[in-house]
C-alpha cells in the first residue's frame, strides 16, 4: 500500500510544490502541449480559404498576441505557487470561483473527449495497418487508460513525458516537411488559389488562432507555478508556445493545401490524409503520442479544477473519475465535427474570465494573492467580486453574440478581452473610491 501511495502524485492546491521546471523544461512543456494534432487541425482550417502566406501571418501575429495573457497568468502562478482556479478566488470570491472551476472542468473534459478520440483513431489506424484488426472504441479506451495512469503520477510525471514528446514532435515535423518537399513542390503553396471551403475569413482566422492560445489560459498557472523563476515562466512559455503554433499550424496548412491542389479529400483525420502521402503509419504513431501528451495536461487541469470546487479531496480521486468520464464522452458520435465551434466556445468562456483575473492582479492590486487565499478565513475575496462576476457575464455574452450571431470582421477575442477587463477595472475603481469616501465620511 505504501508503494502504491508513493506512485501517486500528491499534488495539492497550495504552494508546496517542487520548483522543478527550468528553461528547457518550460519550453519543452509548451512545445509538447501545442505541437499536437488539434493545433494541426486549426492550421488545416485556414487553407485554402486564405492564401498560404496570409494564413501563416495570421498564425504568427495571433500567437504573439494571444500568448501574452497566457504567460501573464502563468507568471501569477509562478509568483504565488497557486494553480489557475485557486487564483480566481481573489477576484470572484468563493462562489464565483467554484462556478468558473465547474465551467473550466466541463470544457477541459470536452477537450479531452476530442483528444481521446483522435488518439484512438491514430492507434486504431496503426494497429489495422500492421495486423488488420480494427476496434476504435477499444483503442480509445486504451489511450485514455494510459492518460489516467500518467496523470495519477502528478505534475512530475507530466513534465518528464512532455520533454521527450516535445523533442519527438519537432523531429517529426521536420521529417514530414522534408518528405512533403521530396514528393511535392511546397513552394507552390505560395501561389495556391483561394477557395472558400470552411467559411474562414482573415478575421475568423485571427480569432481562432487567438482562441487557441486562450484555450491554455485556464491551465497555465497549473504548470508554471513549478517554474524556477519568473523569467523562465515568461520567456520559456512565450518561446515554446509561439514555436509550437508556427510548427503545428504551418504543418496543417501545408498538408491541407497540398491535398487540395493534388485532388485529395480534405479531411479532419490527419492520419488518413498523411497516408495519401505515403507515411500514414509513422504519422499515426506520432499523432497518437502528441495527442496523448495534450490530453494528459487537460485531464490534470480538470482534476485541479475539481479540487478547487471541493477542497480537501485527494488528488487521485477526481483524476480517476474524470478519466473514466472522458472515455465515454470520446465515444459520442460526431464530436469531432464540432471542433471549430468548440474553439469559439473556449474563447467565449475564458477570454472574459481571465481578462478579469489579469486586470485584478496587475492593475487593481496584488494583496491577498498568496497561499493564505486558500484558507477559510480569507474566502471572501475582494469586495468587488460582484463587479467581477458582472463583467464576466457581459463579456461572455458579447463573445457569444459576436462569434455566433453577428460575427465581427476582425474577430471577437481581442474586443471582448479589452472590454471585459475595462469594465471590471472601471467598476472596481468606482466601488473602491465610493467605499473610501464612505469610510472617510463615517470617520468625520
**What pLDDT does residue 4 have?**
42
Percent of the chain past pLDDT 70, that is, above it, reads 82
> Minimal CA–CA distance to 158: which of 148, 167, 168?
148
Does 187 score more than 60 pLDDT?
Answer: yes
> How does residue 341 score in pLDDT terms, banded at 50, 70 and 90?
low
**197 within domain boundaries:** yes
The Cα 255–Cα 41 span in angstroms is 10
In this predicted model, what pLDDT tens digit does every residue of 89-123 receive, in sequence order?
888 988 888 888 988 888 888 878 877 887 787 77
Listed residue (121, 48, 427) closest to 285, CA to CA: 121
Residue 3 belongs to some domain of the structure: no
Q: Is residue 14 part of a domain?
A: no
Note the pTM of the prediction, 2 decimals.
0.85
Domain that holds residue 224: 19-443
Tell whether the model's pLDDT for residue 275 goes beyond 60.
Answer: no
Structural domain includes residue 67 = yes
pLDDT, tens digit, 9 for 90 and up, residues 418-440: 999 999 999 999 887 776 566 55
Backbone angles phi, psi at 334, to 5 degrees: 75, 10
What's the pLDDT score for residue 418? 92
Residue 9: per-residue pLDDT? 56
Number of folded domains that form the chain:
1
Q: Which residues contact 427 (CB under 8 A, 6 or more apart)?
A: 384, 387, 390, 391
**Would you say residue 8 lies in a domain?**
no
Q: Report if residue 179 sits inside a domain.
A: yes
Q: Is the pLDDT of residue 2 over 50?
A: no
Lowest model confidence (mean pLDDT) among 13-22, 189-198, 236-245, 351-360 = 13-22
Position with higher pLDDT, 274 vs 225: 225
* pLDDT for the residue numbered 270: 52
Could you give the CA distance from residue 291 to residue 38 in angstroms, rounded to a whole number? 8
- Going by C-alpha positions, the residue among 358, 420, 412, 418 that lies closest to residue 394 is 420
**What mean pLDDT is predicted for residues 206-218?**
84
> 319 is written with which cell numbers?
483524476
Buried b (16+ CB within 10 A) or exposed e, 315-350: bbebbbebbebbbebbeeeebbeebbebbbbbbbbb
pLDDT: which is higher, 6 or 160: 160
Q: In this structure, are residues 71 and 237 in contact, taking their beta carbons and an 8 Å threshold?
A: yes
Average pLDDT over residues 388-397: 92
Sign of CA dihedral 273, 276, 280, 283: negative
Q: What is the CATH number of the domain that holds 435?
A: 1.10.4160.10
Amino acid at each position: 500500500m505504501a508503494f502504491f501511495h508513493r506512485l501517486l502524485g500528491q499534488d495539492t492546491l497550495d504552494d508546496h510544490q517542487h520548483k522543478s521546471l527550468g528553461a528547457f523544461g518550460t519550453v519543452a512543456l509548451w512545445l509538447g502541449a501545442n505541437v499536437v494534432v488539434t493545433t494541426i487541425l486549426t492550421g488545416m482550417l485556414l487553407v485554402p480559404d486564405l492564401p498560404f502566406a496570409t494564413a501563416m501571418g495570421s498564425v504568427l501575429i495571433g500567437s504573439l498576441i494571444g500568448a501574452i495573457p497566457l504567460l501573464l497568468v502563468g507568471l501569477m502562478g509562478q509568483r504565488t505557487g497557486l494553480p489557475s482556479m485557486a487564483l480566481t478566488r481573489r477576484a470572484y470570491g468563493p462562489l464565483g470561483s467554484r462556478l468558473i472551476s465547474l465551467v473550466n472542468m466541463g470544457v477541459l473534459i470536452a477537450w479531452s473527449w476530442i483528444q481521446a478520440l483522435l488518439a484512438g483513431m491514430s492507434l486504431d489506424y496503426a494497429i489495422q495497418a500492421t495486423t488488420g484488426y480494427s476496434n476504435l472504441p477499444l483503442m480509445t479506451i486504451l489511450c485514455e487508460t494510459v492518460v489516467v495512469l500518467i496523470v495519477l503520477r502528478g505534475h512530475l510525471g507530466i513534465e518528464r513525458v512532455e520533454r521527450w514528446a516535445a523533442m519527438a514532435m519537432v523531429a517529426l515535423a521536420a521529417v514530414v516537411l522534408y518528405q512533403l518537399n521530396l514528393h511535392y513542390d511546397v513552394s507552390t503553396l505560395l501561389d495556391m488559389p483561394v477557395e472558400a471551403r470552411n467559411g474562414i475569413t482573415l478575421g475568423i482566422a485571427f480569432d481562432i488562432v487567438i482562441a487557441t492560445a486562450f484555450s491554455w489560459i485556464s491551465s497555465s498557472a497549473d504548470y508554471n507555478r513549478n517554474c524556477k523563476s519568473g523569467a523562465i515562466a515568461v520567456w520559456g512559455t512565450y518561446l515554446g508556445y509561439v514555436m509550437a503554433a508556427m510548427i503545428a499550424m504551418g504543418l496543417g496548412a501545408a498538408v491541407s493545401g497540398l491535398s487540395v491542389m493534388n485532388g485529395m479529400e480534405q479531411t479532419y483525420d490527419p492520419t488518413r490524409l498523411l497516408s495519401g502521402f505515403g507515411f500514414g503509419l509513422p504519422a499515426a504513431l506520432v499523432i497518437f503520442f502528441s495527442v496523448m501528451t495534450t490530453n494528459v495536461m487537460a485531464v490534470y487541469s480538470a482534476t485541479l479544477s475539481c479540487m478547487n470546487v471541493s477542497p480537501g479531496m485527494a488528488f487521485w480521486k477526481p483524476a480517476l473519475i474524470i478519466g473514466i468520464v472522458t472515455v465515454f464522452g470520446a465515444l459520442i458520435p460526431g464530436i469531432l465535427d464540432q471542433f471549430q465551434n468548440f474553439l469559439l466556445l473556449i474563447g467565449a468562456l475564458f477570454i472574459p474570465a481571465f481578462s478579469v483575473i489579469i486586470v485584478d492582479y496587475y492593475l487593481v492590486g496584488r494583496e491577498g494573492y498568496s497561499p493564505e487565499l486558500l484558507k477559510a478565513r480569507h474566502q471572501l475575496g475582494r469586495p468587488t467580486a460582484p463587479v467581477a462576476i458582472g463583467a464576466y457575464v457581459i463579456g461572455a455574452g458579447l463573445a457569444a453574440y459576436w462569434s455566433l450571431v453577428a460575427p465581427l470582421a476582425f474577430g471577437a477575442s481581442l474586443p471582448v478581452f479589452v472590454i471585459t477587463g475595462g469594465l471590471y477595472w472601471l467598476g472596481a475603481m468606482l466601488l473602491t473610491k465610493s467605499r473610501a469616501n464612505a469610510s472617510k465620511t463615517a470617520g468625520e
